[in-house]
Structure 1
Amino acid sequence: MKHKITGDMVRWNSSIYEFNYKMRSIKEDEEIELSINSYGGDVFLGIDIGNTLKAHKGKVTVTITGIAASAASILCMGADVIKAYKNTQMMVHNAWTIVMGNAKELRKAADDLDSVGESVLASYTHRIDADTAAKLLDDETYLSASKALEYGLIDEIIDAEPEEVESEMFQDKAKEFNAKLSTKEQPVFTSTGMSEETLKQMFAEFKNEIKNELQPKEPEKTAPKQNLSALFLNLK
């Protein structure tokens, strides 16, 4: 079964609804290939889908095509194999919430977040040790594909172009990520029509030629001196 989850991790997301629908009829040992491009959302939804994938008897492969952040990174942890395009990202952080109320309610909300944090931490510890995971979560860490591979949070890097990410919940973060994708080095052309790189190469070669010219050379062998009087006599 192949499927893609994209956008925010919320239950009314159509790609998540379709995933749950497909899982009702899938064979228990059928292979699943799931691609993900999400900035996250509901942590318990991420845990739910991650555990659903982990409990599936068939091989599960998840591929990150843009970013797997927050709850979306937790979803990935349910896979047997996690792949990522070479210029994608994974982001992990501690759970957060929006809360209002009196002092007692605010203190309780903090305690609740500590409890949720234990569940979040446990989602990663089958791949990395708890201390390392806790440090990454505390620092709200963005991991390149190579760094995620180094930590063991993914298994393989594949060579392809990443996708832009869509998000209503994290619009600013999504725009920031997409802006990085669109910023690619372009060749700078001069008024001569040559690229700046070509000109640099030409100047480098010209510089080497000048250096070669300035290097001391072996004295040229001169012809033996002739007797001038004999030379004039021969010319008569």
Structure 2
Amino acid sequence: MNWLSAFFGWLADFFGTGANWTGPDGIPARLLEHLEFSVLALVLAMLIAVPLGLAIGHTGRGEVVVVVSANLARALPTLGLLVLFVLLLGTSSIWPVIIPLVLLSVPPILVNTYEGIRGVDPELRDAAYGMGLRGGQVLGRVLVPVALPLILLGLRLSAIQVVSTTTVAAYTGLGGLGRFVIDGFATKDYASVVGGSVLIVLFALVVQIVFALIQRVTVSPGVSQRLKVR
């Protein structure tokens, strides 16, 4: 159990000012790298998938894109994509990590956005048109607020997937919290492996909490109540 005592020493160092806390390989630097990868990939995926999901859900055109996207989400190999883009682009930038993360993040956002818009009660849609609203107004004022919980669910699923998948970036020699896990296994430093794993889990839990707070602030109480009744 020497590694267990080493792990507690690793945690103690985490709360102190030792080697695990300072320098380019320290916890703050690796956490910042992980955050950078995750936020950039999620924002890019959101900019692609949300408008596309809104347009397809509202018009009903291009639904095959949603089907293909859902299937790709199950078929794309994470590590394979990372290695492929590293071979194509090298490791001089973060794009060999960002591009695969975006490709993996788009499907959940796209599918949930589409389903959220298409799942709005047709009578509500008809009533909006009956009040004189037009296409864009119906989408922005009626459909999106009602579909927002499902849209946020897609974003939350993608965010968690990005946080966990970014860990694999360490296999290609890039940074992030995965370095503690990968390097720990390579050097048999199991305290670092466990410590890195704990940090990644905590990161994912923080993502869950952040999206729960966002949903509480942004979703209309009426929509939330309707979901509870269902």
Same fold (TM over 0.5): no
Between Structure 1 and Structure 2, the one with more strand by share is: 1
Q: TM-score, normalised by structure 2?
A: 0.20
Larger Rg: 1
Q: Which structure is higher in RCO with an 8 Å CA cutoff and minimum separation 6?
A: 2
